[in-house]
Amino acid sequence: MDKTQDKLTRRNFLRTTTRGVCAAGLGALALTAARGKGVSMRRMVWQIDPTKCTACGNCATHCVLTESAVKCAHDFSKCGRCNFCFGYYKSGSSGAKSHAGVEFQLCPTHAFVRKHVVEDSYEYTIDIDKCTGCGICVKGCKEGNGSLFLQVDQDRCMNCNECTIATACPAQAFVRRPADDPYWLQQRPEAKS
């Protein structure tokens, strides 16, 4: 390498390094300024506030993904394990034990699964791979204990800047939550079993 080339290479190196140091310095300054103003630097993700959601059905049809990122979740601590579950059976189909056929089930994809536990007690779980996030069972359960609710599955969600469901939500139920605490029950919506 001749002297002129060597000089140019050093100059380029210094220029690149100086730019890098300046960028890092500006980044650190921005971080300090944001912290000073009390601005949180935690990454935020989209989630549904179950206290606002009316289970309107838009979650199943307005996601950018072909299969919606919204799934049904179950608060097992609230569930009455009822024989006649308002989220499982169509209203009017009384005598659940004798009406166990699929024609009496509310869930259109049979993602809501019923398992007999003991006497009049049943366990209800959700197969999230089959769940479309339609909210039909959630609406039904509102007449019962309200233990079913919809949540954005963070393993599926693309965390779009503009969530198309949030825009279409008539209840303004979509909120931003910290990525390290994204669920209402601190868990991903999935079947308990």
* Interacting residues with ligand SF4 (CB under 6 A): 46, 48, 53-56, 58-59, 63-65, 69-70, 72, 106-107, 109, 111-112, 126, 131-137, 150, 152, 157-160, 163-165, 168-171, 173
For strands 112-118 and 121-126, give the pairing. antiparallel
Measured CA distances, 182 to 47, 113, 128, 129 (Å): 7, 25, 17, 20
Between 4 and 161, whose beta carbon lies closer to ligand SF4?
161
Q: Which is nearer to ligand SF4, 31 or 64 (CB)?
A: 64
How far is it, in rounded angstroms, from Cα 96 to Cα 74?
A: 21
CB of 135 to ligand SF4, least distance (A): 5
Question: Closer to ligand SF4 at the Cβ: 59 or 79?
Answer: 59
Q: How far is the CB of 57 from ligand SF4 (least distance, A)?
A: 6
CB-facing half-sphere around the CA of 63: CA atoms within 13 A: 23
Shortest separation between residue 59's beta carbon and ligand SF4, angstroms: 3
Q: Could you tell me how far CA 66 lies from the centroid of its own chain? A: 15
